[in-house]
Amino acid sequence: MNEDLPSMQNGAVPIDDEGNERCEDKSLYITLSMYVSEAKVAAALGSRLTPRIVESFQPRYLNSRKLRDAVDPLFNDIADRERRGRVDDFLLGALGGQKPEFVTVEVPDTIVWTTEGTQSVNTLDGLNRKRSVRVRRFWYAHVNGALSYHVSLRYDYTHSIADLYFLSLLQKVAAPKEFAFPADAPARTRAARVTDDRTGIQAIDAVTVSAGGKRMPFWHYVRACFDADAAHLLDALRSHLPASAGGKARGRPKKAASGSNFDTLIQQAPFIEVPGLEMPVSRLLFFFQDKTFFDQLLPVDPATLEPVQRGTRMDEGFGTHCGQCLDGALHSDPDTDQTYRLDAGFWSRLLSRQQAEGAPLAATEEAPEALRYMFLAGFNQNIIDFLNQDSSEVLDSLDPIYPDTEAQEAERKFIRYANPRAMITYVQSSRSLETANDYIGTCPYAFLIHILSMHNEFLTREYEDAALQLVSDVRADSASSLREAARHFYDFRTGPYEAYYRDRYMNIFRYDTEGDVFEKMTQLRGIARRNDYVERLVSNVESQTRDREARMSKRDESAMSVLLGALGVFGLFQLMFNWADVLNSRLSLANPGDWVALFAFCTSALTALVLVVGFTVWFFFFRNRS
């Protein structure tokens, strides 16, 4: 093994004098987070998981007390987590999180992706070597009774081209856009899932983990970890629940037919960038401790140490040279039309510019600064085809969500990016990372932003689903029964609506370094947009229902008026009949006064008849037509 490789590549984590894991330069901390909804947790336990139940459970479960005592003070330093004098969310240990686990991750030496209809086949020396990765696992109990499961990985890397592509694959395994099913893939009766024996997506199938003497695809390893950790946690929670809340007296709920907690509890959703693929609903947190990357992203003038624009560091000549090399690597292929073949010859030509300047390079050695800029721009947007960028695209992708002012840039604390599925942070060093790494495997400040944003995003998605169901129910029932429509609105307002605004995390951060990022994550993840959409949708349907209710009420009033009018006419006719009886018994044509009475009677009867006919014509013809 090369002695220049980071210490973790030799199978050991760097340890300080106190026995704690030491965070070194060029180390990446990845947290894969999966959300288990409140409804699924309640179904698995037979009872809703309340904050007070978790509060009493936490100190007794595995290493949860240690997690709380070490990490909660760091959370509380930057956020006001209190609700009515108590904290309602909790860190929980995992069965496999008592001590760090070391696994070996392998990827193939050739990776194939497709961008904008053009395929790239990249063959790199050193890409397929075995890499040691440290793993920590833990749970987070949310205020609404949901749980999230976290797998934290640490990888100490180099700046070699091979390692840069390996880092890209670590993001692709959870969000494999740019990858596609083979053209000759057999037809499926259902969408492919990451836990299938084979999906046909290289980024999923070919990234493997060796642990406990077994080698398996990455997601199979994650499922095995989740199944073991979830079974242990759920059993412990069932034993802890009060009998009246579904504990021992209720018995153990039935397991899913598959026997896998992962398949039962983790939601699978279509991955829109790869039609026909379903992925576990998850989000990623990347935390780079890397002085070189940090200085590239927040460059300073070496003489004055004042911040300078990133564009001044960009080597546009390398970008032009890279484009020329790509043009030379483009081949026609009968199956895929066009293919970039990034083979040894391509990499030799690409790096020849540095070689001509007296700095020979290979794919296993340090990548030039311009290539690192391209990698960073691509990684921030989850793009593995990062060579195919011009300078403006690179600069756009290097525009962070924090800092976003000159004053913030001058502080040079950290720099943060985000894409729809990941938040990414770069630092030179981090005291908070050093403190919490032995417990949660990442920076607690970044993690709190990440976990609250993820909770709000999935809570908003559930709220959106409930609102769409409300619209469907109201439209189906309001045609026949306003009472049912009103009941649907009442149930929605006292159920999903109330729960959403009760359980959603507001911006609880004390400082702009976290608060500004949280607000931008709210925008980027579509939380604010979805919330506005749902409010408008529900308001519109509610308004339409009220309008219909008003029209029906007016119609009822009109019908009542007709009924009262009919009763009046009936009474008038009854009076006339009474008069007729009187006249019939007393009428004498020889008496002039009786003629006057007869004329009055006939006039009244005719007037009543005209009124009835006129009202009937107006009501059933002119009114209905208008």
Angle between helices 482-492 and 444-477 (to 10 degrees): 170
Q: Does residue 256 surpass a pLDDT of 60?
A: no
pLDDT in tens, 137-184: 999 999 999 999 999 999 999 999 999 999 999 999 999 999 999 888
What local confidence, expressed as pLDDT, does residue 420 receive? Answer: 92
**67-99 burial string, b = 16+ CB within 10 Å, else e?**
bbebbbebbeebbebeeeeeebbbbbbbbbbee
pLDDT in tens, 316-325: 888 889 999 9
Contacts of 589 (CB under 8 A, 6+ apart): 595
Extract the tokens encoding 515.
Answer: 């608060």
- Of the two residues 127 and 616, the one the predictor is more confident about is 127
Residue 549: which pLDDT band, with cuts at 50, 70 and 90? Answer: low
Point out the least confidently predicted range of 32-46, 227-241, 512-526. Answer: 512-526
What local confidence, expressed as pLDDT, does residue 183 receive? Answer: 83
What local confidence, expressed as pLDDT, does residue 119 receive? Answer: 93
* Whole-number average pLDDT of the chain: 86
CA–CA separation, 194 and 9 (whole Å): 27
H and E: helices and strands count for the chain: 21, 19
pLDDT in tens, 471-507: 888 777 655 567 777 788 888 888 898 999 999 999 9
Contacts of 248 (CB under 8 A, 6+ apart): 238, 239, 241
- Of the two residues 525 and 335, the one the predictor is more confident about is 525
Extract the tokens encoding 468.
Answer: 């769409």
SS3 label, residue 197: coil
**Which percentage of the chain shows pLDDT scores above 90?**
59
Burial of 433 (0-12, 13-18, 19+ CB in 10 A): buried
Count other Cβ atoms within 10 Å, centred on residue 484.
15
Mean pLDDT value across residues 331-356? 81
Count other Cβ atoms within 10 Å, centred on residue 491.
14
CA–CA separation, 231 and 252 (whole Å): 12
- AA identity, residue 289: Q
What local confidence, expressed as pLDDT, does residue 252 receive? Answer: 52
Which value, in Å, is the radius of gyration of the alpha carbons in the chain? 36
- AA identity, residue 506: M
SS3 label, residue 29: strand
Residue 577: which pLDDT band, with cuts at 50, 70 and 90? Answer: low
pLDDT in tens, 505-516: 999 999 989 999
SS3 label, residue 532: helix
Q: Is there a contact between 384 and 178 (Cβ–Cβ < 8 Å)?
A: yes
Of 148, 48, 92, 233, nearest to 455 (Cα)? 148
- Of the two residues 260 and 8, the one the predictor is more confident about is 260
Mean pLDDT value across residues 75-79? 97
CA quadruple 500, 504, 506, 512: dihedral sign? negative
pLDDT in tens, 389-448: 988 899 999 999 999 888 888 889 999 999 999 999 999 999 999 999 999 999 999 999
pLDDT in tens, 187-215: 888 999 999 999 999 999 999 999 989 99
Q: Does residue 517 surpass a pLDDT of 90?
A: yes
CA–CA separation, 176 and 169 (whole Å): 8
Contacts of 339 (CB under 8 A, 6+ apart): 118, 119, 120, 121, 330, 331, 332, 333
Q: Is there a contact between 350 and 322 (Cβ–Cβ < 8 Å)?
A: yes
Strands 208-211 and 214-217, sheet pairing = antiparallel
- Of the two residues 524 and 207, the one the predictor is more confident about is 207
Extract the tokens encoding 323.
Answer: 């484009």
Residue 1: which pLDDT band, with cuts at 50, 70 and 90? Answer: very low
Q: Does residue 582 surpass a pLDDT of 70?
A: no
Q: Does residue 250 surpass a pLDDT of 50?
A: no
Range among 27-41, 81-95, 568-582 rated most confident? 27-41
Extract the tokens encoding 267.
Answer: 């939601």
What local confidence, expressed as pLDDT, does residue 81 receive? Answer: 94
Count other Cβ atoms within 10 Å, centred on residue 176.
25
Long-range contacts of 245-254 (CB under 8 A, 24+ apart): 245/47, 245/48, 245/53, 246/45, 246/46, 246/47, 247/47, 250/46, 250/47, 251/46, 253/43, 253/44, 253/45, 253/46
Residue 361: which pLDDT band, with cuts at 50, 70 and 90? Answer: low
CA–CA separation, 119 and 454 (whole Å): 33
CA–CA separation, 146 and 89 (whole Å): 10
- HSE value, Cβ hemisphere, 13 Å, CA-based, for 438: 15
Angle formed at CA 453 by CA 448 and CA 459, multiple of 5 degrees? 130
- AA identity, residue 106: E
pLDDT in tens, 278-319: 999 999 999 999 999 999 999 998 888 888 888 888 888 888
Of 354, 357, 328, nearest to 340 (Cα)? 328
What local confidence, expressed as pLDDT, does residue 358 receive? Answer: 47
Angle between helices 316-328 and 344-356 (to 10 degrees): 150
Extract the tokens encoding 245.
Answer: 């809340």
Of 490, 494, 479, 493, nearest to 544 (Cα)? 479
SS3 label, residue 155: strand
CA–CA separation, 459 and 481 (whole Å): 31
- AA identity, residue 176: P
Q: Does residue 244 surpass a pLDDT of 80?
A: no
Count other Cβ atoms within 10 Å, centred on residue 626.
5
Q: Is there a contact between 412 and 308 (Cβ–Cβ < 8 Å)?
A: no
Distances (CA, A) of 542 to 461, 488, 490, 492, 528: 20, 10, 11, 11, 21
Bridge-partner residues for 155, per DSSP?
A: 28
Angle formed at CA 549 by CA 547 and CA 550, multiple of 5 degrees? 65
What local confidence, expressed as pLDDT, does residue 443 receive? Answer: 98
Cα-Cα-Cα-Cα dihedral of 229, 235, 237, 239, to 10°? -160
Range among 549-553, 591-595, 610-614 rated most confident? 610-614
CA–CA separation, 486 and 492 (whole Å): 10
Q: Does residue 7 surpass a pLDDT of 80?
A: no
Residues in the chain: 626
